[in-house]
């Protein structure tokens, strides 16, 4: 009997292993309908169970003399043992097989599970993290569309060799699924091995007649800092401006690629866009600070500063700090003077832009860190400290007036102004200034 069980266990292990490897490969590599995949999973776990039972029976035979087989399969009862019965068999039937066999079966199942997982290159983890979402992408039933989009969102935050090829296949489907796949591929900027293939597919999608797919592909290419999309981005921004509804994701894209060609339309949006779009446009303009062809960025911002809404003024002050041009000292002083006491103490809001097509998740927080308007102005004045004589001639008297005005009033304004004034003067060397003739 032991030899028979040994042969049966070997056959079960080999057959189960072959079935498990074949089924796992089918699920991974061959597109199938949900019902077919469910059947394949049933075959996979049935094979696992059969192998576990065969191994448990073999272990029971060697360790406990086949107690489970004799007691529960062959119905041997030690109460009715005869004198002619084999002593080993009688001893085996007296074992507590109802306790030992389940433990052996669980251990065999666990080891079989790990073995199947090993030979299938971590299939169980793959299916739990990736495969189940890939399965949701199959088919064209409109009722399953929300599930497909959610599956793309789940895949966009995971890293596995099969994910990018899967998303590229979904991109080729076009429509809403293709648009979401284009967005998802924009989140794989860290996957250098697939970069060329992703860029090629997204560039092809930018030429699509589908405006939604085209836009998502364009924004994703900007995340890869593909500056070749500047013309298309300029066109999309102009169309949005003419329609009066600005997609702020395009403004974030402009900040990514940093091509001076888009600055004119960014300036127009800063002047005529909705309030939230103006805030992001101010940030995007400041992102061009390292571009040689980008001229007078600070002037674009300061020209808008006096007449802008409060939240836009906050964004402009923040962006002037990024640019660091000392010409902004005087406009910033004017912004402080013209602000109401309530505005000065009001916290400037963070601007959040969601890049996912439905406006959920995958967000960027702009205009950080958070502070009130007055503190923002003083921080930026400290960053772009006045150095030229003509600007100091306006900044220093203004700071002196602030010190005198707020000295002893219990606020930090006098101390802050004095600290800034001392910093400006400590960096100045008047001995190098030529005496007037």
Q: What is the mean pLDDT of residues 341-357?
A: 96
What is the per-residue burial (b if ≥16 Cβ within 10 Å, else e) of 28-66? Answer: beeeeeeeebeebbeebeebbebbbbbbbbbbbbeebbb
Select, from the ranges 19-23, 68-72, 128-132, 321-325, the one with the highest average predicted confidence (pLDDT): 321-325
**Beta-bridge partner residues of 366:** 351
Please answer whether residues 104 and 96 qualify as being in contact, where contact means their C-beta atoms are separated by less than 8 angstroms: no
DSSP state at residue 166 = H
**Beta-bridge partner residues of 293:** none
In a domain, 248, yes or no: no
- Which residue range forms the structural domain that includes residue 94? 2-121
**Beta-bridge partner residues of 347:** 372
Better pLDDT: 387 or 105: 387
What's the Cα-to-Cα distance from 412 to each of 332, 374, 416, rounded to whole Å?
19, 11, 6
In a domain, 284, yes or no: no
- pLDDT tens for residues 200-249? 999 999 999 999 999 999 999 999 999 999 999 999 999 999 999 999 99
What is the per-residue burial (b if ≥16 Cβ within 10 Å, else e) of 369-403? Answer: eeeebbbbbbbbbeebbbeeeebbeebbebbeebb
**DSSP per-residue letters across 186-212:** TT-TT-GGGHHHHHHHHHHHHT-S-HH
In a domain, 392, yes or no: no
In a domain, 53, yes or no: yes
Whether pLDDT at 341 is above 70? yes
What angle do the packed helices 145-155 and 163-173 form, to 10 degrees? 140
- pLDDT tens for residues 60-77? 777 766 666 666 555 554
Least confident of 28-32, 68-72, 290-294, 433-437: 433-437
Whether pLDDT at 82 is above 60? no
What's the Cα-to-Cα distance from 195 to each of 165, 184, 187, 230, 367, rounded to whole Å?
12, 13, 11, 19, 30
In a domain, 107, yes or no: yes
Q: Is 424 exposed, middle or buried (0-12, 13-18, 19+ CB in 10 A)?
A: buried
Q: What is the mean pLDDT of residues 10-31?
A: 78
Q: What is the mean pLDDT of residues 144-156?
A: 94
Residue 407: which region, alpha, beta or left (left: phi > 0; alpha: psi -120 to 50)?
beta
In a domain, 308, yes or no: no
The predicted model scores a pTM of 0.78
Whether pLDDT at 350 is above 90? yes
What's the Cα-to-Cα distance from 280 to each of 9, 36, 253, rounded to whole Å?
67, 48, 11
Three-state secondary-structure class, residue 138: coil
* pLDDT at site 64: 65
| Terminal-residue alpha carbon distance, the chain | 120
Better pLDDT: 2 or 296: 296
In a domain, 233, yes or no: no
Q: Which residues contact 175 (CB under 8 A, 6 or more apart)?
A: 210, 213
- pLDDT tens for residues 370-428? 999 999 999 999 999 899 999 999 999 999 999 999 888 878 888 999 999 999 988 76
Round the average pLDDT of the chain to a whole number and report it.
86
Q: Return the HEC string of 20-38.
A: HHHHHHHHHHCCCCHHHHH
In a domain, 238, yes or no: no
Whether pLDDT at 37 is above 80? no
> Domain tally for the chain?
1
Confidence band of 429 (pLDDT split at 50, 70, 90): low
């Amino acid at each position: 009997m032991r030899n028979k069980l040994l042969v049966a266990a070997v056959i079960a292990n080999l057959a189960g292993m072959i079935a498990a490897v074949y089924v796992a490969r089918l699920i991974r590599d061959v597109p199938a309908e949900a019902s077919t995949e469910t059947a394949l999973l049933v075959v996979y776990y049935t094979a696992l169970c059969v192998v576990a039972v065969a191994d448990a029976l073999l272990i029971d035979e060697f360790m406990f003399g086949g107690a489970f087989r004799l007691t529960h399969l062959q119905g041997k009862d030690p109460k009715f043992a005869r004198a002619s019965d084999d002593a080993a068999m009688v001893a085996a039937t007296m074992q507590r097989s109802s306790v030992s066999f389940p433990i052996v079966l669980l251990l065999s199942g666990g080891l079989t599970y790990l073995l199947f997982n090993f030979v299938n290159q971590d299939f169980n983890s793959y299916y739990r993290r990736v495969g189940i979402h890939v399965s949701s992408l199959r088919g064209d039933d409109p009722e399953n569309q929300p599930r497909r989009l959610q599956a793309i969102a789940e895949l966009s935050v995971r890293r596995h060799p099969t994910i990018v090829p899967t998303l590229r296949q979904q991109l080729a489907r076009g429509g809403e699924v293709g648009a979401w796949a284009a967005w998802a591929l924009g989140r794989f900027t860290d996957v250098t091995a697939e970069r060329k293939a992703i860029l090629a597919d997204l560039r092809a999608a930018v030429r699509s007649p589908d405006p939604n797919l085209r836009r998502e592909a364009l924004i994703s290419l900007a995340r890869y800092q593909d500056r070749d999309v500047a013309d298309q981005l300029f066109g999309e921004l102009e169309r949005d401006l003419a329609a009066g509804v600005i997609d702020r994701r395009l403004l974030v894209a402009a900040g990514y690629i940093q091509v001076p060609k888009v600055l004119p339309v960014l300036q127009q949006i800063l002047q005529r866009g909705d309030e939230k779009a103006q805030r992001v446009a101010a940030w995007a303009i400041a992102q061009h600070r390292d571009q040689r062809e980008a001229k007078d960025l600070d002037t674009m911002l300061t020209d808008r500063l006096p007449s802008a809404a409060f939240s836009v003024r906050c964004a402009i002050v923040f962006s002037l700090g990024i640019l660091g041009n000392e010409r902004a000292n005087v406009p910033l002083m004017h912004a402080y003077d013209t602000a109401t006491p309530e505005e000065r103490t009001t916290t400037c809001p963070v601007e959040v832009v969601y890049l996912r097509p439905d406006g959920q998740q995958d967000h960027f927080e702009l205009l950080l860190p958070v502070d009130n308007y007055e503190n923002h102005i003083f921080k930026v004045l400290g960053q772009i400290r006045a150095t030229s004589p003509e600007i100091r001639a306006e900044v220093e008297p203004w700071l002196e007036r602030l010190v005198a005005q707020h000295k002893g009033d219990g606020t930090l304004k006098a101390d802050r102004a004095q600290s800034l004034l001392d910093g400006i003067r400590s960096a100045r060397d008047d001995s190098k200034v030529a005496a007037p003739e």
